[in-house]
Amino acid sequence: MSSHSTLAEVIGTSQNSTPVSRVMSHQTFWVFLAAVLACLTLTILTDTFATERNLFNVSRNFAFVGIIALGMTAVIASGGIDLSVGSTVVLSAMMIAVIMSGGLPIWIGIPAALLTALLVGLVNGVLIAYAGMPAFVVTLGMLSVARSLAMVLSNNKMMYEFGPDHALLLALGGGSTLGLPNPLIVLAILALITGFAFKWTRWGQHLFAMGGNEEATKLTGIAVKQLKVSVYVFSAFTAGLTGILEVGWLGGVTTNLGQAMELSVIAAAVIGGANLAGGVGTAFGAVVGALLIEVIRNSLILLGISTFWQGAFVGAFIVIAVAFDRFRNARYSE
Amino acid sequence: MSALRLNSVSKHFGAIHALNDVSLVIEPGEVIGLMGDNGAGKSTLVKVIAGNFAPTSGEVFVDNRKATFYKPLDAQRAGIEVVYQDLALCNNLSAASNVFLGRELTRRVGPLQVLDYAAMRTRSAELFARLKSETRPRDLVRRMSGGQRQAVAIARTLLSDARIVLMDEPTAAISVRQVAEVLNLIRNLRDHGIAVVLISHRMPDVFEVADRIVVLRRGRLVASKRAADSSPEEVTGLITGAIEAA
C-alpha cells in the first residue's frame, strides 16, 4: 500500500478485500455448500427426501445436535472442550421427568432441569478455571458423574408419565409452531442470540481472545477465570435445554438418552469451522455442521445404504472439513 | 518532574539478591537502554516497575507520587505499560480488536451495549498513522509482519495514555528492515513525551535510539550515562565486569 492512502482507505481495507473472497475464505461456506448440494442431490435421486414429513424429521433431529453445538462452539472457541454435554442432556431430562411425574407442574420442572444443568456447568467451569484442571479431564469426569446421577434419580427406570402437564411437555418438544418443529425454532432463536453475542458483545470478543492467546488476554486485565466459567455454564445450558425438548419429543426418557451425543456435537462444531486449538468458530457454522451431519445420516437411510456406514461418512467429513481448512491456511503459516 | 524514580530498590528471593539498592530516574520522553547479561536483574527490575513483584525494600515514584503496585493492573492504571517479548497479542483477532482488547468501545443500541467496530477501527487507524505504521486495523494479527505486530502492541500503550513504556527485547526476532521500523516506533513514543525503557541485547539498536544507557550487573546498577558519552566497547566492558563501574 502506498503511504499516500487516506485514513478512510486504510480502515476499509483488509486482506480479504472483496465480500466474495471473504465469504469464500470461510470453511462454513463450503460446508454449507456441501449440505445444500447433498439436499439437491437427494431431492433428485429420491422421491422421499423432499417430502414434508421427512423434512420435518430432519430439521427436528438436527436441531437437538445444533442447539448443543452452539454451546460447544463457544467452549471450543474459548480454547476448551466439554465432553459432559450428552450426560447433561440426560440429567436435565431426568430431572424434569421425575419432578413432573411426581405431580408438579411444568413451570417448576423446566427451571429445575435448567438449574441442574447450570450447576453441572458451574462445577465444570470452577474446576477448570479456578482449580486449573484440564477441561478434557474435568468434563470426562462429569460425563460419568452426570449420567450416574440421572440413573440414581430415576432408579434407572424409564419415565413416560409426566403428571398433570404431560400433554404440555410433549407439545413443547414434539409439537410445532407455524408449521415448524419447536426444537427448530429454539435452535434458530438461540443461534441468532449466540451469533450476536460472539460478534457484537465484549463477552464474545473476550471469549475469542482467550481462545487465541489466554496469557495475552489475562495481561489486558480481562477476568479470564469468570469468563471461562461462563462459557461452560452456557454449554451446559444448551445441553439442559435440549434435555427438556428431547423428553417432549420422545414422550419418555431412559438413562441412555444422549449417550455419545457429545461426539456428534463436537463433530458438528468442528465441521462448522470451530478450531479445537481455540480462537475460531461461528454460530452459523455450528448450525450448518449439525445440518450436514443429519443430512448425511438421512440420505444414507433414504438411499437404502446400511446405517452401519453412517460413522464412516460422518468421520470422513470431519477429517475432510478440517483438512480442507488446513490446506487453505497453509500459505498463511509462518 | 520525573516520569519514574526508583529509590534504593532491592528485591530478594530468599538468599538470592536479584536487585540490590538500585536507584534510577527516568525523565518524560527519555529513551533508556537497559542492558546487562542474563541474570543481571533486568527482568526483575522490569517486573518491579510493571507491578509483577513488590520490591523487598526501596520505593517507586511515578510522576513524583509514591506508587505501590500489588498487581500489574495497578501499574497500568498509573501509566506504565509493558510491551512483552512475545508481544502478547491474539493472532486470531484483527489489529483494531487487539488494540482495544479489554477496553472495547461500545455503543448503545436499544437496551443493548454492542461493540462499536467502526469507532475502534477509526481510532486505531489514527494511532497507526501517529506511529507512521502501515498496519491496517482490519488485518488479522496472524498475517502480520513482526514490525506491524510491534505497532499493534505499541498502539495499545498509546491508547491508554501511558507515561512509561517498558519494551522487552522488541528487536530480538525480526528482520533488519523491521528493526528500523520498530526503532522508529520508539522515537515516535519519545516524541510524544513518553519515556521508554528498552531492554535489549542488541548493542547497535540500543545505541541508535537510547538517550541513556543503564547497565545492571549481578543485581547492581553499575552505570547510567548518556549514550553519546559512552561506546559499545565501554558498555560491553561494564556488562561483563571488565570495567567495574562508570
- Domains annotated for chain B, with CATH where assigned, are 4-92+146-240 (3.40.50.300)
Contact B96, B118 (CB under 8 A): no
CB A85 within 8 A of CB A239: yes
Residues of A in contact with B104 (CB under 8 A): 202, 205
Q: Determine the pLDDT at residue A294.
A: 87
pLDDT value of residue A23? 61
Find out whether A252 and A230 touch, Cβ atoms under 8 Å: no
Nearest C-alpha of chain B: how many angstroms from A86?
A: 30
**Chain A residues bordering chain B (beta-carbon distance below 8 Å):** 1, 3, 7, 10-15, 199-202, 205-206, 208-209, 211-213, 215-217, 219-222, 279-280, 332
Q: Could you tell me if residue A30 is inside a domain?
A: no
A333 falls within a domain: no
Q: Name residue B35's beta-bridge partners.
A: B215
From chain A, the residues in CB contact with B137 under 8 A are 10-11
Q: Any chain A CB within 8 A of the CB of B73?
A: yes
In a domain, A44, yes or no: no
If we measure between CA atoms, which residue out of B193, B204, B205, B78 comes closest to residue B150?
A: B205
Q: Does A6 fall in a domain?
A: no
* Pair type for strands B16-26 and B4-13: antiparallel
State which residue of chain A sits closest to B109, comparing Cα positions.
A200
Residue of A nearest to B51 (CA): A219
Q: Which of A1, A202, A212 sits opposite B93 (nearest CB)?
A: A212
Which residue does chain A place closest to B88, by CA atoms? A216
Boundaries of domain holding A74: 55-322
- Pick A209's closest partner by Cβ from B73, B76, B90: B90
Which chain A residues are Cβ-neighbours of B151 within 8 angstroms?
none
The sign one gets for the Cα dihedral A185, A191, A194, A200 is negative
Question: What ranges in chain B are assigned the alpha helix state H?
Answer: 42-49, 72-77, 95-99, 117-130, 146-159, 176-191, 203-209, 232-240
What Rg do the C-alpha atoms of chain A give, in angstroms?
A: 21
Q: Phi first, then psi: give them for residue B206, nearest 5 degrees.
A: -60, -45
Give pLDDT tens digits along chain A (334 positions): 344 455 555 555 554 455 566 666 667 787 888 888 888 888 888 888 878 888 888 888 889 999 999 999 999 999 999 999 999 999 999 999 999 888 888 898 899 999 999 999 999 999 999 998 999 999 999 999 999 999 998 888 888 888 888 888 888 888 888 888 889 999 999 999 999 999 999 999 999 999 998 888 888 878 899 999 999 999 999 999 999 999 998 888 888 888 888 888 998 998 888 888 888 899 999 999 999 888 888 888 888 888 788 888 888 888 887 787 777 666 554 4
Q: Which of A14, A221, A279 sits opposite B102 (nearest CB)?
A: A221
Q: What is the pLDDT of residue B86?
A: 66
B63 neighbors B3 (Cβ within 8 angstroms): yes
Mutate one of A13, A14, A206 to test the B interface: name it (highest B CB count within 10 A): A14
**Residue A15 forms part of a structural domain:** no
How high is the pLDDT of residue A2? 41
- Please tell me the total count of domains within chain A: 1
Strands of the B164-168 sheet, one edge to the other = B80-83, B164-168, B195-199, B31-35, B212-217, B220-226
Q: Which of B82, B87, B90 sits opposite A212 (nearest CB)?
A: B90
Identify the closest residue of chain B to A77 by CA–CA distance.
Answer: B92
Chain A residues with CB-CB distance to B103 below 8 A: 220
Chain B, nearest residue to A9 by Cα: B136
Please classify residue B11 by burial: count the beta carbons closer than 10 Å to its beta carbon, then call 0-12 exposed, 13-18 middle and 19+ buried. buried
Of B97, B112, B134, the CB nearest to A1: B134
Please report residues of A whose CB lies closer than 8 A to that of B97: 205, 209
Integer Cα distance of A91 and B173 in angstroms: 52
CA distance to partner chain B, nearest, from residue A235 (Å) = 22
- Is A92 a domain residue? yes
Q: Which residues of chain B have pLDDT under 70?
A: 85-87, 173
Q: Hey, is A132 helix, strand or coil? A: coil
CATH code of the domain containing A224? 1.10.3470
In angstroms, the CA A139 to CA A137 distance is: 6
B103, B136, B140: residue with CB nearest A10: B136
Which chain A residues contact residue B138 at CB under 8 A?
11-14
For residue A279, list chain B residues with Cβ-Cβ distance below 8 A.
Answer: 90-92
